[in-house]
Amino acid sequence: MSMNSFWRSKFAWSNSRHNQWAECKKQYYFNNIKKYDGLPNDPGRELLWRLSELQKMPFLKGRLIHEAVKHQISNHNAGRGVDADIAKNFFLSQFDSTVKDMNLVITEAANGFPPGEKEINDIRKDGIKQIENFCNIIWNNYKGVRCLGHEKNEEFFLDGIKVRIKYDLLTEKDGMHVITDWKTGSSGFDDVDENIQIGTYFTWLNKTNGISAGMIKGEVVYLKSCDTEIAEKTDADIKKIEEFIKKDSAEMLSVRSEEDFPASPEPKRCIGCNFLSVCKEGKEVISSLKSQ
């Protein structure tokens, strides 16, 4: 079947797009191409847009922790203190109101696998703990540095290909730039190849801000354990990342028809897929699971 070409005009490589492409091409197709088929009020198109707004459970937790942290850093930058109670209350009220409507907003619930009460309580506790760790322990490490930006979307071009990044914190001290990513779990929202993600940060700082590789550090901070991993890269590493992004984009852009997007059904993946209700292969995998 032929497909629309509008998506090409909107194409931008990003780490999350790369992950979708690597996981299941059919999911990638629904999310990035099929959604732009037909006219805006076409019922099929509206359904895909609605489905693409569902949130996976780990994503919801990660997003709310990131938002709570973002507000606290903004408060700090405005001269007010970081307040763990405000951050925790924000998380709790948002989390509880989202979970109340879970069949409409949570992917797993909409797919017929609602999280149980114990799971919800565990996630709630985990979220609170991570916010406490950030406010009471982790944030102390950033008091003597200059904040250049936080929770920001940026874009740049590599040989005409648009590349999008989103970083959590960028700080500087004595010319050394540290670009930081808060990690809130080990799957879902955080299910990324850290090396590629961090490498893209280096490429952005180097390309658009002219900062040499030796004056950049990438940092991954696990809010659950307070562990930090530091990544350093050379100019040659940055070149490699650029080549990778160009090659990955060329592959994504070489598709011609719907057949170029095979499904990769797998129970865990399909239960957390926003498009399960419109995917034949996914539904087959789930119904064989239920009949076992």
Q: Which residues bind ligand SF4 (CB under 6 A)?
A: 24, 26-27, 263-265, 269-270, 273, 275-276, 279, 281-282
- Cα distances from 33 to residues 120, 159, 176, in angstroms, run 33, 23, 40
Complex with ligand SF4: residue 64 or 286, whichever CB lies closer: 286
Complex with ligand SF4: residue 178 or 279, whichever CB lies closer: 279
Complex with ligand SF4: residue 18 or 26, whichever CB lies closer: 26
Under 8 Å between Cβ of 201 and 167: yes
Q: How far is the CB of 187 from ligand SF4 (least distance, A)?
A: 14
Q: How far is the CB of 51 from ligand SF4 (least distance, A)?
A: 10
Half-sphere exposure in the Cβ direction for 222 (13 Å, CA): 12
**3-class DSSP state for residue 194?**
helix
b/e string for 110-139 if b means 16 or more Cβ within 10 A?
bbebbbeeeebeebbebbbebbbbbbeebb
Q: How far is the CB of 86 from ligand SF4 (least distance, A)?
A: 38
Q: How far is the CB of 56 from ligand SF4 (least distance, A)?
A: 11
Q: Please, what is the Cα angle at 246 between 242 and 249, to 5 degrees?
A: 135
Complex with ligand SF4: residue 54 or 279, whichever CB lies closer: 279
Under 8 Å between Cβ of 29 and 261: yes
Complex with ligand SF4: residue 204 or 275, whichever CB lies closer: 275
Q: How far is the CB of 274 from ligand SF4 (least distance, A)?
A: 8
Kindly tell me the burial class for residue 140, based on how many C-beta atoms sit within 10 Å of its own C-beta (0-12, 13-18, 19 or more).
exposed
Q: How far is the CB of 150 from ligand SF4 (least distance, A)?
A: 32
Neighbours of 14 (CB within 10 A): 18
Complex with ligand SF4: residue 62 or 265, whichever CB lies closer: 265
